[in-house]
Amino acid sequence: MKVVRQRMTNKLLKNRAPLWKLLLSIPLLGMLTSCNPTELTAKNAQSNVISNDGSFDGKAYVYKDSPFILGGPNYSPSGVSMAKFTDRKAELITTNTRLTGNCEMMFFSFNISIPDCIHALSKESGTTTPLPRNADRTFIFSPDSPEFYQVNALYHVSQATQTFLKKLGYAYEQAQLVVPYGEARSIPYYLMNSKLFWFKAMSSSDRRLFNTDFLTTYAQCDLDGNASFSAAGPTLCFGGISQFPGFYFVQDPSVIYHEFAHAMVSILLNLRNGTNAASYHPLRSNMGTYGYDEAGSINEGIADYFSFIMNKRERFAEFALGKTFNQSRPISESDSLHSIPGIEETSTGRLAYPQYLLYDPNHPDEAMEDVHYAGQIVSHYMVALTKNLKYECGYNSDKDGGHDRATSVVMLLLSETLSELGDLYARGVDDYYSPLTAKINGSDVFFNNLNYNNSYLWTHFNNPITYRRFFQTFAKNINKYVSYFSPVSPRTGLCPSFDKNKSERLLDDYGLLLFKTYNDNGTSTTSRSITYSTAVPGMVHPAAPTAVSENNRRKSILISKQLIQLSTRTDENPSRVGFYIVDNSTDMEGILQNLLYKGFTVPISKNVAGTEYNNNNIKISPGEIIAVIPNLQNNSNSTMGGVQILATDWDHVHIPSDKLKTGNFKPCVVDTVTTVDQGAEAGGSCTSTETDFTRLIQNPLTEQFPAAAVAPVCMVLLEEGESSKWVSQNEYRTKQGLSLLDKDCLGYSTNTTSDKDFAFNPHECLVRFLPGANSAFFSKIDSQKTYYESVLKDNGGSFNMGNAMIMEVNKWIPPGTKFRCRLRARFSNCSDCYTDGSNGNDDYIDAEYNGHKPFKVINFDFDVND
């Protein structure tokens, strides 16, 4: 059997190897060439043919790093030849006979393996069968060939997978070790059975969740200018850049690690979402939407950090992003890419939130709202935490400087945090033995994300993963797993010397001490009087939430929600605008197409609205589909970060008991804008907040609407004689000479005229924010400025899709009709959006996010006119 061996012809010279290496290599080269026939392969690769005595089985020559690292910073991304950079030692690619990898994870001493968990292919349009190994039982292919890149992709994805599963195994063990002390933990003990540590979950039923039961890597996919991770595949995709022929993202292993980390985040978020094939949740948690948001930013920051875990370098994508578009990203303050004076690894020099949310280190004067830039705060914090752990815990005396141990601890914290936040079973933690069955008096009890049925809505919209929610949970886990020390408890944390104060100060250095307590008292989602310990006798948790030491809060400034409002025109600022409208058909069609390409469907109504009605008069007209960009204003003296505005249904109406046939409601008095005189209700069901999320749709069996429900945000002004009152759109459509049938309403969808649409909500018959595009996110608003003045103005007035909500307007609306949409706003560094000061600064329980208390109500008033 012969092995064709490639190696670089000029590597030693180009890498400026020391003289002694050159001298040593001469006799070695001589030996190799004298023993074996040598053949020249394509693209200057030199090959030696040697015998494979079995020691080359499943092996190939791979590049261990990018051309920037191996070839020097001047290596061009045009006409890349990786033959120069392949390692001299053959590496095991896989023991399988095809280009697939195997996964295994240790659960204490139990080894659970999943064969063929990774596949490498060339591109989506190519074959779906992984390459077989060569006749010589190796995976050695000509450098720069499609096969070569598939081999390298599998090698690096396998390396990342092994690192991830090893660290998750460590996290699993550490999490289970707290159980005997009665403490809650999030990584579930049944992970071994569910196999949700990988995409091949639930044995034969996994096809219900994914297209395939393995992670496919497309080494050279048809995606120009991008690399991506798709959870539905699941697939990793590494494209090229058309303006740099010969360049592929796969040539930079740090990009492979980054994309793999998105897959890792997807796994960790869903660790708890099933125990076996019969019990998986039908939905899965994700982080990130179609534009800017904080969940997406955290996801990017974690992905950059994972690159650091893999290669120990404090800069990401030097070659793939740096050499193509000057977009390489630093991962610590000590990296030389930071050119702004004062950025350094000191308390005052950290990349702090929200100041650096728009910071592009390569263009520090050109602020830009993007998840990748905002994510740098997360990656920098995590690297700083890793360094702190190495030093404080004495890991730095390890052979590797403590890198492995410190990053394992950070991965433990990440795993616990993400599995809790993404839990669609809405428990967040397990009891000792029966993880999903906590009941009080026969009723189900939930501890995060409201409840089983609405958990997706909660963790993605109503109480989403933001810098505040993520770092509050992350910090809680530092206290539990790292800092914990009690003179009366036999348990100690992994590193008590990195104590709560040090943890809080580091978070504060990054402006991330955005919470007042750790929310660790285990309250249920619907009642403060029900806690972990009432659900599971013997479970230990503080009676009151552990408070942050306010002395440690120096940079993390919290602001009252009363200081945010819709921008208004004043004499001083005559050009201020409250809401920007996009109603030209070309832009709107582009927006809708872009959303779809990013995987976000918006159910456009049939026959009663469409972009063909758009008239580009920057007003709201019948039949249009428009984008609405709220322009919020910060009246405080500090910067607001993570501003979110919601147009999702919420509990702001009272449904009189005699209106259950129609569901017609009276709006509740929630502010000074909509009053009793205008038809609002101050009593009745308005005095409390619903603990469940029930939409205002008709029950097809009873033909009644619920007596208490969340309602669409937009009401309409009904003018009858002298009086005017705000009413439901369902009430209005039967009055004012309209008599609109269901089929003439927005959102009505059936096959035939005799079928009914059981998901149809008649209370959004006239105008509605489209599901899937009914919330908007804004990175930050500077002190005493509007969002436009803080961010958009410097970008030439361009907004990203995360800033926009999409609204449909029924073509049958009479011109002049007045609407009021009650939107809800909050932000991450808000002092009173998460707690109202009562209950010892304990966070609001999840049910309260159904109402107005955690938000500032923003009234969007408009007329519909031709």
Partner 1 sequence: MIKRTSFILLFSLAIVATIFAVRFFFQTKPMASNKKERPVHTYNVNKGEINGHRVVGLPPGRPKEEIKNIKVANTPSPEWKENLEKTLKAQGGNSLKEVILNKVDSFVWSHEGVSLFVESVIVTLKNDKNSETTFKVLVDAETGKILKNWDQPVIDPANPRQSFRVKLDPRYHAD
Footprint of partner 1 on 69-128 (CB under 8 A) = 124-125
325, 310 Cβ separation under 8 angstroms: no
Task: State in angstroms the smallest separation of the CB of 865 from partner 1.
Answer: 16
Stretch 203-262 residues interacting with partner 1 (CB under 8 A): 207-211, 221-233, 235, 241, 249, 255, 258-259, 262
276 touching partner 1, by CB under 8 A? no
Task: State in angstroms the smallest separation of the CB of 223 from partner 1.
Answer: 5
Stretch 750-779 residues interacting with partner 1 (CB under 8 A): 750-751, 753-759, 772
In the bound state with partner 1, the residue whose beta carbon lies nearer, of 255 and 766, is 255
In the bound state with partner 1, the residue whose beta carbon lies nearer, of 707 and 857, is 707
Task: State in angstroms the smallest separation of the CB of 468 from partner 1.
Answer: 22
Burial class of 672 by CB neighbour count within 10 A (0 to 12, 13 to 18, 19+): exposed
How many angstroms separate the first and last alpha carbons of the chain? 80
In the bound state with partner 1, the residue whose beta carbon lies nearer, of 316 and 726, is 316
Among the candidate windows 22-30, 528-536, 678-686, 739-747, which touches partner 1 by CB under 8 A? 739-747
In the bound state with partner 1, the residue whose beta carbon lies nearer, of 498 and 812, is 812
Task: State in angstroms the smallest separation of the CB of 572 from partner 1.
Answer: 14
Task: State in angstroms the smallest separation of the CB of 39 from partner 1.
Answer: 36
Stretch 621-650 residues interacting with partner 1 (CB under 8 A): 627, 629
827 touching partner 1, by CB under 8 A? no
Task: State in angstroms the smallest separation of the CB of 624 from partner 1.
Answer: 14
Q: Phi first, then psi: give them for residue 228, nearest 5 degrees.
A: -155, 165
Among the candidate windows 281-289, 346-354, 561-569, 668-676, which touches partner 1 by CB under 8 A? 281-289
Among the candidate windows 127-135, 193-201, 409-417, 602-610, which touches partner 1 by CB under 8 A? 602-610
Stretch 782-801 residues interacting with partner 1 (CB under 8 A): 788, 792, 795-801
Closest among 431, 783, 819 to 640, alpha carbons compared: 783
Sign of CA dihedral 296, 243, 220, 313: negative
Instruction: Give the single-character DSSP code of 791.
Output: I
Three-state SS letters, 99-148: CEEEEEEEECCEEEEEEEEEEEECCCCCCCCCCECCCCCCCCCCCCCHHH
432 touching partner 1, by CB under 8 A? no
Residues 6+ apart with CB under 8 A from 247: 77, 78, 80, 240, 241, 320, 324
701 touching partner 1, by CB under 8 A? yes
For residue 807, give both structure tokens.
């609204």
Please tell me the count of residues contacting partner 1 according to CB under 8 A: 121
425 touching partner 1, by CB under 8 A? yes
Stretch 387-416 residues interacting with partner 1 (CB under 8 A): none
DSSP, collapsed to helix, strand or coil, labels residue 25 as helix
Measured at the CA of 474, the angle between CA 639 and CA 384, to 5 degrees, comes to 75
156 touching partner 1, by CB under 8 A? no
Residue 437's identity, in one-letter code, is: T
Task: State in angstroms the smallest separation of the CB of 581 from partner 1.
Answer: 8
DSSP, collapsed to helix, strand or coil, labels residue 523 as strand
421 touching partner 1, by CB under 8 A? no
Task: State in angstroms the smallest separation of the CB of 322 from partner 1.
Answer: 10
Task: State in angstroms the smallest separation of the CB of 498 from partner 1.
Answer: 31
DSSP, collapsed to helix, strand or coil, labels residue 826 as strand
Instruction: Give the single-character DSSP code of 328.
Output: -
As beta bridge partners, residue 646 has: 775, 824
Closest among 626, 614, 605, 617 to 585, alpha carbons compared: 614
189 touching partner 1, by CB under 8 A? no
Residues 6+ apart with CB under 8 A from 688: none
Stretch 311-350 residues interacting with partner 1 (CB under 8 A): 320-321, 324-325, 327
Task: State in angstroms the smallest separation of the CB of 304 from partner 1.
Answer: 10
In the bound state with partner 1, the residue whose beta carbon lies nearer, of 136 and 360, is 360
176 touching partner 1, by CB under 8 A? no
Among the candidate windows 283-291, 413-421, 513-521, 845-853, which touches partner 1 by CB under 8 A? 283-291
Stretch 365-384 residues interacting with partner 1 (CB under 8 A): 366, 368, 370-373
Q: What is the chain's Cα-based Rg?
A: 29
In the bound state with partner 1, the residue whose beta carbon lies nearer, of 94 and 419, is 419
Strand order in the sheet with 110-121: 100-107, 110-121, 215-218, 235-238
Q: 752-757: list long-range contacts, CB under 8 Å, 24+ apart.
A: 756/700
700 touching partner 1, by CB under 8 A? yes
As beta bridge partners, residue 485 has: 492
For residue 594, give both structure tokens.
């872009």
Select the residue interacting with partner 1 from 345, 742, 794, 832 (CB under 8 A): 742
As beta bridge partners, residue 105 has: 112
Task: State in angstroms the smallest separation of the CB of 286 from partner 1.
Answer: 6
Stretch 560-589 residues interacting with partner 1 (CB under 8 A): 574-575, 577, 580-582, 584, 587, 589
Task: State in angstroms the smallest separation of the CB of 571 from partner 1.
Answer: 14
Burial class of 180 by CB neighbour count within 10 A (0 to 12, 13 to 18, 19+): exposed
306, 260 Cβ separation under 8 angstroms: yes
Closest among 83, 84, 3 to 36, alpha carbons compared: 3
Stretch 434-453 residues interacting with partner 1 (CB under 8 A): 436-437, 439, 444, 451-453
Residues 6+ apart with CB under 8 A from 817: 716, 717, 732, 736, 766, 863, 864
In the bound state with partner 1, the residue whose beta carbon lies nearer, of 322 and 545, is 322
Measured at the CA of 271, the angle between CA 265 and CA 275, to 5 degrees, comes to 160
Measured at the CA of 371, the angle between CA 369 and CA 372, to 5 degrees, comes to 105
Closest among 107, 183, 172 to 432, alpha carbons compared: 183
Task: State in angstroms the smallest separation of the CB of 18 from partner 1.
Answer: 34
In the bound state with partner 1, the residue whose beta carbon lies nearer, of 274 and 522, is 274
Task: State in angstroms the smallest separation of the CB of 692 from partner 1.
Answer: 9
Task: State in angstroms the smallest separation of the CB of 856 from partner 1.
Answer: 24
